[in-house]
Amino acid sequence: MRSVLAGTVFVASMISALPASADDARVVMIATEGASPPWDGTNEKGELYGYDIDVGLDLCRRINLKCKFVAQDWDGIIPALLVGKYDVIMSGMAITEKRKQSIAFSNPYAAGYNQMVVRKDLGLDPGDTAQRLNLSTLNANGKATIERLRSTLSGKTMGVLRSSNSEAVMKELFGDVVVLRSYDSLDNLKLDLAAGRVDGGLADFFTWCDFLETPEGAGAAFFGPQVNGGLWGPGVGAGMRKDDTALIAQFDTAIEAAIKDGTIKTLSLKWFKTDISPAASR
C-alpha cells in the first residue's frame, strides 16, 4: 500500500498449486500488499504470509492452476492490475461500488469490520468498543453514536491509508471535525501513532489487533464501535479484470466450495482467532 506501479516487488517464493493441465500453461499472478497482517504480511526473509495467501493457495489448488504471489504497494494495486502486471488482487480488499466501476470481484471470501484506535494518553472515552455498527442501516442510535464520536474527536489528528475505504469513510463522517492525515502504508501510520505524531486512526479491525499486541502498539487502544457496511460493501473479494470472465467464474466456484467444506472457517480461525467466513451461497 505504498507508491504506484513502479513499486511492484516480485517476491522470491513461488506458491504453486497442483500442476495445471497441459492445455493450460498459464501462471496466475496474484498481487497482495504484504504489509497488513494477519491479512497479508512479509516476514524477515521477504516471504509473503497471511490469510489472503493461504486462501489464494487453496483456491488455486481447487482450480488446478499454477499461481505466484507478488507484493504490490496499495495505492497502485488496481492500476497495476488493469495494465496486466498481474491477474488477481487478494489483499483484504473490500468489494465496493466504486471499485466495481473499474474491476470485477469474485464472491466474498471474508466478512470483516473496521475500527478506530486512539492513543491512551489522550484520555478519551472510547464508548462501547464491542458495539457493531452497520453504516448501510444506521438507525437513530447509530446516528447518535456517530455524533458522540464527532464531538469526542473534534480537533484530533487521525490517520488513514491513502486510497482506502477507511479514508473515504473518515472524510465522509469526520472530515469537517478532524485533521485527516493519509499514509502510503499502514506501517507508516502505525509508526506515527506509536511516536505520538497522530492521535489515532481508522483501519481494519484485525490489522489493529495485530498491532496492539506489539510493544509499539501498547500506547493505543480501540475507540468507538466496530463498523462495516456503507462504503466498505458486502465483504472482501478477489479483484480481477472485467474481461477475465472465465477466471472470475473459477474463483467463484472454488470460494463456494472452500466455504462449504469449512476451509475458509479453518483459515479464519488460524489467522484471526474467529470465523469471518461469509455464508455459503447454497
Residues 20, 11: Cα–Cα separation, whole Å: 22
d(CA 169, CA 229): 10
Q: What average pLDDT does range 120-149 have in this prediction?
A: 94
Same fold for the domain at 5-111+234-272 and the one at 114-232? yes
Q: Dmax over Cα atoms in the chain, in whole Å?
A: 63
pLDDT tens for each residue of 175-225: 999 999 999 989 999 999 999 999 999 999 988 998 999 999 999 999 999
Beta-sheet strands, E only, within the chain: 27-32, 41-42, 48-49, 66-71, 88-89, 104-105, 114-119, 132-134, 157-161, 179-183, 200-204, 220-228, 239-240
- Does residue 265 register a pLDDT over 70? yes
At the topology level, CATH places domain 114-232 in: D-Maltodextrin-Binding Protein; domain 2 (3.40.190)
Q: What whole-number distance in Å separates Cα of residue 63 and Cα of residue 253?
A: 9
Q: Give the pLDDT score at 54.
A: 98
Q: Where are the domains of the chain?
A: 5-111+234-272, 114-232
User: What's 5-111+234-272's CATH class?
Assistant: alpha beta
Angle between helices 165-174 and 140-153 (to 10 degrees): 90
Indicate if the pLDDT at residue 233 is higher than 70: yes
